[in-house]
Chain A
Amino acid sequence: MKVLTLNFLTCAVKACKSSSDSFPLHPKDCELVSDELEVNSALLTNVLTRVDWKALTTTAAELGFPTLPATPPTPEELAGDEKMLKELHTLLMETQINEGKLVCGHCGHEYAVKEGIANFLLPNHLV
């Protein structure tokens, strides 16, 4: 599962969605792998305008990546900075959580990630 995907996921428990503690989910005991992927700069540049940068900063820090800049690069900055584009591509698109857990900061429920696939089916008592 891509780091980018985490920016668009929250807890599946209905009562958690209105709480700011449920986003982003917190990676726990994660094994990361890198999947090589061709850079699509149009996609990345435009997706970045939709990314919650604060949440991404949290996720990156929790996964042990170097601190991200305080604000996201603008499309213009990105167009002139191939190195930054490549780094963001590596972090968002190529880095994958292969095994581990995603924890909700509100209810504490842990969602398993196995072979790169996160499972959000809830046990009966949480539905």
Chain B
Amino acid sequence: MTSDPTLADLTERVAARRDRPAYGHDALITCDRLVRVFTADGVEVQALQGLDLLVREGELMALVGASGSGKSTLMNILAGLDTPTAGAARVAGRDLLTMSARDRLAYRREVVGFVWQQTSRNLLPYLTSAQNVALPMQLSGRPGGRSRSARRARAERALELLEMLEVADCRDRRPDEMSGGQQQRVAIAVALAGDPAVLLADEPTGELDSHTGEQIFAAFRTANERLGTTVVIVTHDQAVANEVSRTVAIRDGRTSTEVLRRSEVDAATGDEKVVAREYAMLDRAGRLQLPAEYTTALGMRDRVALELEPDHIAVRPDDSGREDR
């Protein structure tokens, strides 16, 4: 497309690349060409096939995708429960591939909190809500953890969290004495107990009706707004997806498209309205995934024609075959 570069051009380009900030330097969560391969019964499954994702600090975002697209795999990796096969993943400055067991433990204690879909599996059945919330603090065994004052501090924090999530009245109830929504809100409190930088939730509303789902989502928003915690939610729930400013879709183990929502004030009417705009992801190799609806609508297959214009790139169906005919 371009003419052959001169040597001077190349050295200049190399220097420019070196000085450029690293990929995702300003993000809290950075996934760079993340690959996870499962081997079960001798069969390899590529759950993640070079996934790229950046999440900034303080963001509240949603991950969507078909079942089996690799969402849970990604969440488990980010939670420090699973290790990627290849690629790079950093959360709050920690490299998830090279962490030692001890680092991993500290990471789980200090950096992430998570909530799973199955309400019953987020909480220990034989502990009350308050105890469930206090447990991660107890487990992390900070210095002076056994002293009276530390205990009081833990109890206070547990109650604060429960109150913030509006389940303070459940503090002495065990999970089987609470509704699913209450359980899930307590689970969020548990996840927040260690004061994590990131809160991960894998389909937290999956077992709940839509109304309760909304309440849960509100709880996440509260956590995000009041504690400043970065929140990543995997969801099937379109309503939830519509609530957040950024929704990333995963397809076949790769991020495919992204929807950003901005509220804009209409210049003419003065009304505030939410504008959603869909973007395709451009990876660092320059690859682009086109939404399936788009390609089928135009009958694009195998090859497309590209044209560089001053302010955009035009993608057209491959017309070379038609000319031949």
Decide if A and B are genuine partners: no
* A interface list, Cβ under 8 A from B: none
Binding site for A on B (CB under 8 A): none
